[in-house]
Chains A and B, each alone.
Chain A
Amino acid sequence: MTTPRDDRGRSPDYSPLNWLLLLPIVIPLLPPLFNAVEPRLFGIPLFYWLQLAFIILGVTTTTLVYRATRRNR
């Protein structure tokens, strides 16, 4: 209901879990991880299925951060 104090100390938005958000920002931008055809999954080359799988990584980390930092009202 109330807004946390913000005039001293750490930002009220701070949470150690925020650092998790770096994972889905950095990993999808590293082509050596996914720039290959094999191994395929259901006939789909690695390049495509792994990058689609990174969506799950993004969803997981943002969900964790959301749950840890949401404000109850």
Chain B
Amino acid sequence: MKTTEIVIFTILFLVVSGLGFVAARWRRPDDLASLNEWGLGGRSFGSWITWFLIGGDLYTAYTFVAVPALIFGAGAMGFYAVPYTVVVYPMVMLVLVRLWSVSHVHNLVTPADFVRVRFGSPTLALLVAITGIVATMPYIALQLIGIEAVLKTMGLTGDLPLIIAFAILAAYTYQSGLRAPALIAFVKDSLIYLVILVAIIYIPAKLGGMGSVFDAAKAKFDAAGSGGITLNANNQLQYVTLAFGSALALFLYPHSVTGILASRNRNVIKRNMSALPAYSLLLGLIALLGYMAIAAGITPIGKDNNTIVPRLFDAMFPDWFAGVAFAAVGIGALVPAAIMSIAAANLFSRNIYKEYVNRNATPAQEATVSKVASLVVKVGAVLCILLIDPQFSIDLQLIGGVIILQTLPSVGLGLYTRWFHRGGLIAGWAAGMAAGMLLLYNIANPATNHAHFGGSAFPLSQFGFDTKITVYAGFLALIVNLVVAVLGTVVARALKSADGPDGTRPGDYFADQGDPRVHELETTAPTA
């Protein structure tokens, strides 16, 4: 037990929890009983709040723990997180403003809502909603792994601390909705920036400079005969397709969309696309902690590489500052976990409950269903970690990235074109999912004792090519999806199969705040 660290961690954790409850009164809504208020924070966040919120949402505690762990274990490959988070913003900048506009004109809350209006197909919307929920659930569970790694390092074992932390989180998310993570994100991100800036200056100085840090890492990989501080001929394509595929997937995740739709207007989104890369710089620096851990001779607890960053902080920092660093990671888990559970809950209430259970649900009923669903989602995540091997959540999250990509043709391309037929999109989704599962099933990883689902790098030799080159499985699955969606659309048109009505007009994709078509805080049902 490390008393100083635990005391500092607990104090900061409690302060932040208090903020979570107070958040219900922040920016005073008249009434929290609608999804626009509970689920989207009043749809009124400006540039600063949006920056903290989306930054805290996308760059999760798990990322901060897992990326250095990957670098620690495999080297350069783990750095894919940097090009991934560089290419994503220019790529989605013009797409997201269209999503914002059409969502505000039609009062849409989830990506599946958009598909429902655009393609007039409840089935396709249901598929998109289920994909979103399934992809998000293990992601929430992973945030617990971030907290767990910190608790383990402080010597707190057993399940109780983890359960208490998540119970507090569940309670204030239930009460305050999206306002809670938005307010907490200020504290979380400030702490993370502080800790990393100190770490990146203080730790290399103690280890003899960055040059010797990299030399130590190179020596380790050379001795191990695997990994390396640069890419080799076989994993370059994997590096590029993984970065690109992950970038395509990022804003398809429902929790990313939640952050975007909560912003006040189109300018806020565009401005954030040039401000959010500050977090990418942070992530790049954090990634290098993996090499510092090698140079400092840090060993993980058991075989859990996710503990190397907490172990590094523990070994390098004085106790009180290690406590601050642990709090940063612990609190860092709360923000994304809250937003993800809100996003998953909104998918349930809008695209399953309202569509299939209670067609005439009032906004208040929708909000109530979402609040309860957010609790269920969190309980599920805790059970996942406690009852099943945490490795299972990591595997599921890997699968989650591949399956969320399969919503790209309906959600992403759908924002630009109505060319696709709903039948084609459904067929493409099914083919992409099947292909993705098949590819992932055939990836073995002896290092983690996996005969199947051992990673995302699919060896092309499995197709019979004489090569050691690997490619990101999600990328291949997406290609299958697109080909089938195109063929399916052509066939459906040739057969004169009925297509769903498009509830949107071209102008809806350009509307901005102040436009009469943009509902400010009206909560009527979407016009579909």
Q: Show the binding face of A for B, using Cβ within 8 Å.
A: 1-4, 6-7, 11-13, 18, 21-25, 28-31, 35-37, 40, 42-45, 47-48, 51-52, 54-55, 57-59, 61-63, 65-66, 69-71, 73
**Contacting chain A: which of B239-247, B317-325, B453-461?**
B239-247
**Given that A35-B231, A43-B211, A69-B270 are known contacts, is A61 also in contact with B507, CB under 8 Å in the complex?**
no
**Contacting chain A: which of B85-93, B113-121, B362-370, B477-485?**
B85-93
Query: What are 6 A-to-B residue pairs whose CB atoms are below 8 Å?
Result: A47-B79, A55-B284, A58-B90, A62-B90, A62-B273, A65-B93
Within 8 Å CB of A31, what residues of B? Answer: 231, 236, 239-240
In chain B, positions 477-517 with a C-beta closer than 8 Å to chain A are 506-507, 509-515, 517
Within 8 Å CB of B243, what residues of A? Answer: 28-29
Within 8 Å CB of B506, what residues of A? Answer: 6-7
Within 8 Å CB of A4, what residues of B? Answer: 510
In chain B, positions 327-374 with a C-beta closer than 8 Å to chain A are none
Within 8 Å CB of B239, what residues of A? Answer: 31
| A29-B65 Cα distance, complex, nearest whole Å | 24
A59 to chain B, nearest CB (A): 5
Q: B83 contacts A52, CB within 8 Å?
A: no
B258 to chain A, nearest CB (A): 22
Q: A21 contacts B93, CB within 8 Å?
A: yes
Main secondary structure of the interface of B (DSSP, over half): helix
Q: B270 contacts A65, CB within 8 Å?
A: yes
Q: A3 contacts B86, CB within 8 Å?
A: no
Q: Say yes or no: is B230 at the interface (Cβ < 8 Å to chain A).
A: yes
Closest chain A residue, CB of each to CB of B241: A29
Interface centre among A22, A28, A47, by most B CB within 10 Å? A28
Q: Say yes or no: is B1 at the interface (Cβ < 8 Å to chain A).
A: no
**Contacting chain A: which of B11-19, B146-154, B274-282?**
B274-282
Closest chain B residue, CB of each to CB of A22: B90
| A7-B507 Cα distance, complex, nearest whole Å | 7
Q: Say yes or no: is B97 at the interface (Cβ < 8 Å to chain A).
A: yes
| A73-B98 Cα distance, complex, nearest whole Å | 19
| A24-B83 Cα distance, complex, nearest whole Å | 9
| B contact residues, total (Cβ < 8 Å) | 50
Within 8 Å CB of A70, what residues of B? Answer: 267, 270-271
Within 8 Å CB of A47, what residues of B? Answer: 76, 79, 229-231
Q: A11 contacts B510, CB within 8 Å?
A: yes
Among A3, A22, A35, contact of B511 (Cβ-Cβ < 8 Å): A3
Within 8 Å CB of A44, what residues of B? Answer: 210-211, 214
Within 8 Å CB of B240, what residues of A? Answer: 29-31
Sort A-B residue pairs by CB-CB distance and give the 3 closest, nearest first: A43-B211, A62-B274, A43-B210
B171 to chain A, nearest CB (A): 38
Within 8 Å CB of B210, what residues of A? Answer: 42-44
Q: A51 contacts B79, CB within 8 Å?
A: yes
Q: Say yes or no: is B404 at the interface (Cβ < 8 Å to chain A).
A: no
Q: B89 contacts A62, CB within 8 Å?
A: yes
Q: B244 contacts A29, CB within 8 Å?
A: yes
**Given that A29-B244, A66-B273, A71-B267 are known contacts, is A51 also in contact with B82, CB under 8 Å in the complex?**
yes
Q: Say yes or no: is B209 at the interface (Cβ < 8 Å to chain A).
A: yes
Q: B507 contacts A3, CB within 8 Å?
A: yes
A66 to chain B, nearest CB (A): 4
